[in-house]
Structure 1
Amino acid sequence: MAYPNTEETICLLKKLVQIPSPSGNTNEVITFVEHFLNELNVKTKRNRKGGLIATLPGKDEQNHRMLTAHVDTLGAIVKEIKPSGRLKLDLIGGFKYNSIEGEYCEIETSSGQKFTGTILMHQTSVHVYKDADKTERNQDNMEVRIDEKVHNADDVCSLGIQIGDFVSFDPRVQKTPTGFIKSRHLDDKASVAILLQLIKQIISEKILLPYTTHFLISNNEEIGYGGNSNIPIETVEYLAVDMGAIGDGQATDEYTVSICTKDASGPYHYELRKRLVQLAKDHQIGYKLDIYPYYGSDASAAIRAGHDIIHGLVGPGIDSSHAFERTHQDSIANTAKLLYHYVQSEMIL
Structure 2
Amino acid sequence: MKKGESKVSTYPNVEETKQLIKELVSIPSPSGNTNRVISFVESYLNELHVQTKRNRKGGLIATLPGKNEDEHRMLTAHVDTLGAMVKEIKTNGRLRLDLIGGFRYNSIEGEYCEIETASGDIITGTILMHQTSVHVYKNAGEAERNQVNMEVRIDAKAESAEDVRNLGIEVGDFVSFDPRVQLTENGFIKSRHLDDKASVGILLQLIKRIKDEDIILPYTTHFLISNNEEIGYGGNSNITPETVEYLAVDMGAMGDGQSTDEYTVSICVKDSSGPYHYGLRKHLVELATKHDIGYKLDIYPFYGSDASAAIRAGYDIVHGLIGPGIDSSHAFERTHESSIMQTENLLYQYIQSPLVSY
TM over 0.5: yes
Question: Counterparts of 2:199 and 2:181 in 1: how far apart (Å)?
Answer: 15
Question: Counterparts of 2:36 and 2:155 in 1: how far apart (Å)?
Answer: 23
Q: CA RMSD in A?
A: 0.8
**SS of residue paired to 1:106:** strand
* Residue 348 of structure 1: how far off its partner (Å): 2.7
**SS of residue paired to 1:315:** strand
Deviations 1:296-318 (A, max 9, x none): 00000000000000000000000
Question: Counterparts of 2:128 and 2:12 in 1: how far apart (Å)?
Answer: 41
Verify: 1:7 aligned to 2:15, yes or no: yes
Residue 144 (structure 2) aligns with: 136
Question: Counterparts of 1:177 and 1:139 in 2: how far apart (Å)?
Answer: 38
Verify: 1:294 aligned to 2:302, yes or no: yes
Question: Counterparts of 2:13 and 2:318 in 1: how far apart (Å)?
Answer: 29
Residue 333 (structure 2) aligns with: 325
The code of the aligned residue for 1:340 comes to Y
Aligned structure 1 segments of 4 or more residues deviating by more than 6 angstroms: none
Question: Counterparts of 2:12 and 2:103 in 1: how far apart (Å)?
Answer: 32
Q: How many positions carry a matched residue from both structures? A: 349
* Residue 114 of structure 1: how far off its partner (Å): 0.3
Residue 66 (structure 2) aligns with: 58
Residue 32 (structure 1) aligns with: 40
Deviations 1:177-216 (A, max 9, x none): 1111000000000000000000000001000000000000
Residue 92 (structure 1) aligns with: 100
Deviations 1:240-263 (A, max 9, x none): 000000000000000000000000
**SS of residue paired to 1:210:** strand
The code of the aligned residue for 1:273 comes to R
Verify: 1:107 aligned to 2:115, yes or no: yes
Residue 197 (structure 2) aligned to one of 171, 189, 197: 189
Verify: 1:306 aligned to 2:280, yes or no: no
Question: Counterparts of 1:51 and 1:4 in 2: how far apart (Å)?
Answer: 29
Question: Counterparts of 1:203 and 1:2 in 2: how far apart (Å)?
Answer: 19
* Residue 3 of structure 1: how far off its partner (Å): 3.6
The code of the aligned residue for 1:112 comes to G
Residue 234 (structure 1) aligns with: 242
Residue 231 (structure 2) aligns with: 223
Q: TM-score, normalised by structure 2?
A: 0.97
* Residue 4 of structure 1: how far off its partner (Å): 6.0
Residue 210 (structure 1) aligned to one of 207, 218, 230: 218
Structure 2: runs of 5 or more not aligned: 1-8
Deviations 1:17-71 (A, max 9, x none): 0000000000000000000000000000000000000000000000000000000
Check conservation: 1:3, 1:340, Cα contact below 8 A. no
Q: Where do 1:67-86 residues align within 5 Å?
A: 67-86=75-94
Q: Where do 1:260-275 residues align within 5 Å?
A: 260-275=268-283
The code of the aligned residue for 1:31 comes to S
Check conservation: 2:37, 2:79, Cα contact below 8 A. yes
Deviations 1:277-328 (A, max 9, x none): 0000000000000000000000000000000000000000000000000000
**SS of residue paired to 1:112:** coil
Q: Where do 1:238-257 residues align within 5 Å?
A: 238-257=246-265
Deviations 1:82-119 (A, max 9, x none): 00000000000000000000000000011100000000
Deviations 1:126-161 (A, max 9, x none): 000011000000000000000001110000000100
Question: Counterparts of 2:39 and 2:263 in 1: how far apart (Å)?
Answer: 31
Residue 158 (structure 1) aligns with: 166
* Residue 225 of structure 1: how far off its partner (Å): 0.2
* Residue 2 of structure 1: how far off its partner (Å): 7.0
**SS of residue paired to 1:118:** strand
Question: Counterparts of 2:123 and 2:44 in 1: how far apart (Å)?
Answer: 28
Question: Counterparts of 2:131 and 2:323 in 1: how far apart (Å)?
Answer: 39
Question: Counterparts of 1:277 and 1:115 in 2: how far apart (Å)?
Answer: 48
Check conservation: 2:283, 2:356, Cα contact below 8 A. no
Deviations 1:206-232 (A, max 9, x none): 000000000000000000000000000
Verify: 1:277 aligned to 2:285, yes or no: yes
Question: Counterparts of 2:311 and 2:346 in 1: how far apart (Å)?
Answer: 23
174-183 vs 23-32, which deviates more?
A: 174-183
Identity, % of aligned pairs?
Answer: 78
Verify: 1:335 aligned to 2:339, yes or no: no
**SS of residue paired to 1:291:** strand
Q: TM-score, normalised by structure 1?
A: 0.99
Residue 146 (structure 1) aligns with: 154
Check conservation: 2:77, 2:224, Cα contact below 8 A. yes
Residue 186 (structure 2) aligns with: 178
Structure 1: runs of 5 or more not aligned: none
The code of the aligned residue for 1:278 comes to E
Question: Counterparts of 2:295 and 2:14 in 1: how far apart (Å)?
Answer: 17
Check conservation: 1:82, 1:152, Cα contact below 8 A. yes
